[in-house]
Structure formats: structure tokens, C-alpha cells
């Protein structure tokens, strides 16, 4: 592909300058305005002397400025590195160091969450002015880096995947040639830009003259308002993870766009397809597959009317300038129906991993089936097989990588983080099915002293994003071993999630708690819930918390925030919080019980320590012991 994505975007600006390009909470920008705002940033970046292909972290809240930042950085010939503003400080610091960041693009609001940025210039997009608005004369080439996205790494640190402009153009053009994305006028973005799941709607809309609706986290977590927004704004296209989509449905009402529903990030179950068919919707359903290393996605399956599937829908056939190979351990082609590893080659294959030539060499290997000397194929690690009709069916993984709610996770990264904790001697992490059929992370630990679940989780939250924190921690005296002395993962005990907290069952004491117990049990699909049982210890996670709030809103006519569940995860605390709010609605969501006592003995004046942004009280434990 000889064109950069910036070429495609600037061509689209000339075609539809007055079309609405982006919308966020009622504020909108036309293609002409978006182009000019992006040029302001690009001109400023170039004026600082920054060279082409410089990596520039983008650390900004969901807003129209987010898209301005993406385009402005690329227009300057540089590559953006998206960092979620909710990442732990340690992960942010690693990315800033790994990219050797000289400039960070942020906003006045988001920059307050940044870790130490000494020696790094922070550009506040919302206050950047007095720059030219015309397109830059510097040409952005197809071979220039477009972005670097970090994914989970098995060695303990995330790894940066380098995607070029030509990779991105190949994806967008190939997608438009394969499905009806050109017919969509409005696109909904419901996911973070720190993964490439949402890039389908970001770049799909920008290259076709559509309107990108950026939805806030608050809107996405309020199911009723989200449905209302889709109806009022006539959303045509949505890209989403199947497990996320399931929790956003209301009873008797599915969250459906008008024209195109693209699933990706995890296996698509046949039941979801059947539910959509029974709803009478005419929107086209797509199952979309592809690792970040092959630019968003490289296979898709169009669900045709009357198609019959087994448990899951195939990941489909390649699109754009892509070839796929199903190979055995000797890199020989597998026959139809014979499982093998999926390899992908073509214009969408990434440049490799940033600052990691060894892993790049291991995963991006020479293509023995090509006559071109520089042809490489990416080893996906996914076990698949060809079906008789030419579609490819996903079977599983050949390693310890898993998908949790669409996030790609290396279990080894979590195990390494656990074993760095002073409370833990050894750790193993598994991804096991919960009662809804979704994967959940279960950590097995051998401790150095008494088992302190809260302390271990607090340590992990300083190290890892929320989606990588185990929902269940189980203490063991020793790990089962195989005959050759390795940990026997298959023999680790299957956790009884309903008893994982090891708390005595306490029945509800009043009508409010009785109703909440019923709702908790229904959402979590467990038989018994006590009022001191923790929602997350019972198998809950952020998506189920969204479902929980919606159920309470409907059955108890109470308007609550998602934060209420995270701050008050037991029914006892949750009820007390509700009663306090009823007595005084002006009370903030602050609870004095969340002070962490480090040392309770002594009769001198108390000392209160406030941890810095992203920190926990654990770092002061040694200090407290010396007092």
C-alpha cells in the first residue's frame, strides 16, 4: 500500500469538508475543523525540531481532542502512543521510558494524572493556539510509523507493537471493499484507544466521511441512557467485544446499530447471533479477527441469513492484501479440518516490537511460501482449522495468552507481578470460565507469611491495569507437580467462587438488603449471597457491575453510579451508603473507613499519610514499622 492514512484522511476532507467528523457530549467538529485543529498540533510539533517517526505518547481523556491528537501527531510524521489515563503510574512510567518520550500530548485535565515528567514537554491540546492551520508540506509516507500500541508481555512488561501508515491504509481500504462500512453515516466508539479494538470505527469513519461518536465512560456504563443515545443519534455502526455487548442489553431490548454490528476481541457465540436474528433486526453482523501485530484485524466472517453454526461463529476469511496459512509444528500446510497454528502475511503485518529485536525475530518469521526475500509472516499463537467452505474456525491458544473481555493478556505478566510482591513466595494464574461462560482470572499463591488478600491486590493495582487483576486469590501450601517437577496447572483446585472470601454467611437483615441479595445473586448467577460477601470476590467484574447498577435502577428505582459498586462492594456497606445518601443527598462518595491503619499502637499524635497519584499505603509500611 503506497498511501498513508493521512493521505486518505486529507482526501476525505476535500470531499466532505462540512460533514460532521466527531461528536462528544454534544460538541462537534466538521472535517474541515478537525483537519485544521490537527494541523495546529502538527505544526507545533514540527516547530520543536522533533524528527519524523518520533514516538509521542497521547495521554488524554475521551473527547474530540483525542482524535485531534491522533491525527496531529501522525500529520507531523510521528507515531502516537496511546496511554489510558486510568493505567497504574508504574505502567505509564514504563511506556514513557520505553518510548524515550520527549513530548507528551495531553490536556489540562488529564496531565494532572501523569507520573513524573521531568525533562518531557507536555502539550495541552485545549490551550494550544497561534499556529498555522494549513496542511503540512512534509509528506507522510506509507512506511512511516503511525502508532505504537502496548499489549501484555509474558516477561513482566508490556510490549509495544509498531504499526505503519501503510498497514493502516491497507486495513481501511480492504475493510471498505469487503463490508458495507461506506454506507454507514454514524459510528460509535465505546472502548479505550489504548487497544486497537476501536480503531475499526475510528479509522473506518475518518476514511469514509462518517461521524464518529465518542462515548464517555459514564454513558457506556449507563445502559438505559446508552440505548437512548443510539436511538436519538441513529448510530449505524458499532464495534464491540461480545461479552461487553451482552451486559449492555436491556430485558427484551438488544443494543443494536442500524446497519453494521462488528464483533471482535473474543470468540463469538452462536447464541448471540440467534438472539439478534430473533429480534428482527436487519443490521449486518460481522465476526472480526486479528491480533494487534497484523493491524486491527485481518479475517472476517459475514453472518448470512439462514447460516447455521455450531457453538461459535468462524473467524472467517482474509480481507485486504492478506494471506493466511494454517501450519503444523514443522511449518507444513495443514489439510482441511486438521488443526494447526495460524500465520498471517501481507501488507497488514506490523514492523515488529519496539526495542525488542529478539521477540520480533521469534514472532515475525521468514515466509517460506513466498518468493519475495523480505516477506515475513506473523505467528499468531492461535490454533485454528480450515472448514470445508474455506472459512477458518478458532480452536484455542498454543501458549498462556488469554483474552479477558477483549483484552489480550499474558498470564506470565501477572505471575511476575505477583511474585515481586513481598507477601508472595510463588504464584500461578489461570483464566477459568465463570458461570456466564466468560473467562476470569484466578490467582493461586504460596505466601511468605499470613495470607493478606487485600494487601496483595493493592500491590497489583499499583502494577497492572484493572483488567489484569485476578478476581479470585486462593492460598495454597504447595503447588501440585507433574512427574518432571513442573507445576501441574491442570491439577490446581477449581475455585468455589461463592466461598472464596472465606467469610461466614450473614443473611439480609431488612427489606432493602433482601432485594439487593436477590439482585446480586441474579447478576452473578450464584445460589447464595451474604450481606458481607464482596461482589468482586464472588466473580463480579466491571462489566457485571454495569449490569448490577442497571438491575438496581430498574427493580428498586434507585439512581446510582458505577463507582458506588467499587467503593461499597458488599451489600452491608452498599446499604449503609444508600441510607446515608437518603438522609443527606449532598454527602460526597467518601468513606472514612478506607483509611488504612499501618500502625495502631502508641499514644502520640496520629500521623496521616496521603499516597501520591496511583499509589497505595503499602509503600509506607516499612516507614511505619520504624516509628
CATH architecture of 5-320: 3-Layer(aba) Sandwich (3.40)
Query: What integer pLDDT is reported at residue 584 of this predicted model?
Result: 60
Q: What are the backbone dihedrals phi and psi of residue 363, each rounded to the nearest 5 degrees, phi first?
A: -95, -25
Is the confidence at residue 413, as pLDDT, over 90?
no
Domain residue limits, the chain: 5-320, 401-495, 511-594
Model confidence at 501: pLDDT above 60: no
> 9 versus 439: which is more confidently predicted?
9
In the predicted model, what is the mean pLDDT of residues 85-91? 90
pLDDT of residue 190: 95
CA 68, CA 89: separation in Å to the nearest integer? 25
Our CA angle for 186, 187, 188, nearest 5°, is 130
pLDDT digit string, tens, across residues 365-409: 999 988 888 899 999 999 999 999 999 999 887 877 777 777 878
d(CA 420, CA 214): 38
**Among 232-246, 265-279, 346-360, 588-602, the least confident range:** 588-602
Q: Please give the CATH superfamily to which domain 401-495 belongs.
A: ANL, C-terminal domain (3.30.300.30)
Q: What pLDDT score does 620 carry?
A: 58
How much of the chain, in percent, has pLDDT values that exceed 90? 54
Least confident of 97-106, 140-149, 440-449, 556-565: 556-565
Max mean pLDDT among 9-18, 457-466, 589-598 falls in 9-18
End-to-end Cα, the chain, rounded Å: 65
Answer with the residue of higher pLDDT: 233 or 409.
233
Q: Of 74, 72, 171, 169, whose CA–CA distance to 128 is shortest?
A: 72
Nearest to 101 by CA among 80, 131, 84, 129: 80
Rounded percentage of the chain residues whose pLDDT exceeds 70: 90
Average pLDDT over the chain reads 87
Q: What is the mean pLDDT of residues 260-278?
A: 92
Per-residue confidence (pLDDT) for residue 610, from 0 to 100? 67
**Sorting pLDDT into bands at 50, 70 and 90, what band is 454?**
confident
pLDDT at residue 578, as a whole number:
81
Cα gap 282→424, rounded to integer Å: 53
| pLDDT of 71 above 70 | yes
Average pLDDT for 321-346: 94
DSSP-assigned beta bridge partners for residue 163: 147
pLDDT exceeds cutoff 70 at 557: yes
Give which of 88, 78, 77 is closest to 58, Cα–Cα.
Answer: 78
Does domain 511-594 correspond to CATH entry 3.40.50.300? no
Angle between helices 165-178 and 199-206 (to 10 degrees): 80
Q: Is the pLDDT of residue 331 over 50?
A: yes
pLDDT category, 260, cuts 50, 70, 90?
A: very high
Banded model confidence at residue 504, pLDDT cuts 50, 70, 90 = confident
Write down the pLDDT at residue 9: 97
Amino acid at each position: 500500500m503506497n498511501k498513508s492514512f493521512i493521505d486518505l484522511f486529507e482526501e476525505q476532507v476535500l470531499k466532505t469538508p462540512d460533514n460532521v467528523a466527531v461528536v462528544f457530549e454534544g460538541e462537534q467538529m466538521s472535517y474541515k475543523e478537525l483537519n485544521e485543529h490537527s494541523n495546529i498540533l502538527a505544526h507545533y510539533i514540527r516547530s520543536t525540531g522533533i524528527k519524523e517517526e518520533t514516538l509521542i505518547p497521547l495521554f488524554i481523556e475521551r473527547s474530540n481532542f483525542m482524535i485531534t491528537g491522533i491525527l496531529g501527531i501522525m500529520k507531523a510524521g510521528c507515531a502516537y502512543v496511546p496511554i489510558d489515563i486510568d493505567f497504574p503510574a508504574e505502567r505509564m512510567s514504563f511506556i514513557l521510558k520505553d518510548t524515550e518520550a520527549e513530548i507528551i500530548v495531553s490536556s489540562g485535565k488529564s496531565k494532572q494524572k501523569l507520573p513524573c515528567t521531568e525533562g518531557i514537554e507536555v502539550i495541552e491540546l485545549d490551550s494550544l493556539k497561534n499556529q498555522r492551520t494549513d496542511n503540512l508540506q512534509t509528506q507522510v509516507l506509507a512506511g512511516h510509523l503511525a502508532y505504537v500500541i502496548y499489549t501484555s508481555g509474558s516477561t513482566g512488561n508490556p510490549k509495544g507493537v509498531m504499526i505503519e501508515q501503510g498497514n493502516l491504509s491497507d486495513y481501511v481500504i480492504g475493510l471498505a471493499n469487503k463490508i458495507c462500512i461506506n454506507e454507514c453515516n454514524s459510528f460509535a466508539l465505546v472502548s479505550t484507544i489504548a487497544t486497537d479494538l476501536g480503531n475499526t470505527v475510528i479509522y473506518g469513519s475518518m476514511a469514509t466521511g462518517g461521524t464518529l461518536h465518542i462515548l464517555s465512560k459514564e454513558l457506556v456504563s449507563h445502559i438505559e441512557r446508552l440505548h437512548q443515545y443510539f436511538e436519538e443519534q441513529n448510530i449505524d455502526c458499532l464495534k464491540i467485544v461480545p461479552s461487553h455487548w451482552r451486559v449492555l442489553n436491556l430485558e427484551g431490548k438488544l443494543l443494536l446499530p442500524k446497519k453494521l454490528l462488528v464483533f471482535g476481541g473474543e470468540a463469538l457465540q452462536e447464541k448471540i447471533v440467534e438472539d439478534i436474528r430473533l429480534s428482527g433486526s436487519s443490521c449486518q453482523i460481522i465476526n472480526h479477527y486479528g491480533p494487534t501485530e497484523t493491524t486491527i484485524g485481518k479475517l472476517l466472517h459475514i453472518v448470512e441469513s439462514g447460516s447455521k453454526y455450531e457453538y461459535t461463529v468462524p473467524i472467517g476469511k482474509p480481507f485486504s492484501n492478506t494471506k493466511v496459512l494454517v501450519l503444523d509444528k514443522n511449518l507444513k500446510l495443514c489439510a482441511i479440518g486438521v488443526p494447526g497454528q495460524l500465520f498471517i502475511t501481507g501488507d497488514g503485518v506490523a514492523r515488529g516490537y519496539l526495542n525488542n529485536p529478539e521477540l520480533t525475530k521469534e514472532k515475525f518469521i521468514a515466509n517460506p511460501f513466498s518468493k519475495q526475500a523480505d516477506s515475513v509472516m506473523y505467528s499468531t499463537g492461535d490454533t485454528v482449522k480450515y472448514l470445508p467452505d474455506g472459512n477458518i474456525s478458532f480452536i484455542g491458544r498454543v501458549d498462556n495468552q488469554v483474552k479477558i473481555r477483549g483484552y489480550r493478556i499474558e498470564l506470565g505478566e501477572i505471575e511476575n507481578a505477583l511474585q515481586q510482591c513481598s507477601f508472595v513466595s510463588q504464584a500461578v494464574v489461570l483464566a477459568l470460565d465463570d458461570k456466564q461462560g466468560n473467562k476470569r482470572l484466578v490467582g493461586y499463591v504460596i505466601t511468605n507469611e499470613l495470607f493478606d488478600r487485600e494487601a496483595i491486590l493493592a500491590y497489583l493495582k499499583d502494577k497492572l491495569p484493572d483488567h489484569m487483576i485476578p478476581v479470585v486469590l486462593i492460598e495454597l501450601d504447595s503447588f501440585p507437580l507433574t512427574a518432571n517437577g513442573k507445576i501441574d496447572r491442570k491439577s490446581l483446585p477449581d475455585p468455589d467462587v461463592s466461598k472464596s472470601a472465606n467469610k461466614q454467611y450473614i443473611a439480609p437483615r431488612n427489606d432493602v438488603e433482601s432485594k439487593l441479595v436477590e439482585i446480586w445473586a441474579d447478576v452473578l448467577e450464584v445460589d447464595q449471597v451474604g450481606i458481607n460477601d464482596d461482589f468482586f470476590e464472588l466473580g463480579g467484574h466491571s462489566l457485571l457491575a454495569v449490569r448490577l447498577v442497571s438491575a438496581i435502577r430498574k427493580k428498586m428505582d434507585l439512581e446510582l453510579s458505577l463507582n458506588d459498586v467499587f467503593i461499597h462492594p458488599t451489600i452491608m456497606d452498599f446499604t449503609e451508603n444508600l441510607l446515608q445518601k437518603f438522609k443527606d443527598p449532598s454527602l460526597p462518595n467518601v468513606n472514612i473507613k478506607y483509611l488504612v491503619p499501618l500502625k495502631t499502637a502508641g499514644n502520640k499524635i496520629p500521623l496521616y499519610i496521603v499516597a501520591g497519584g496511583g499509589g497505595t499505603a503499602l509503600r509506607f509500611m516499612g516507614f511505619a514499622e520504624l516509628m
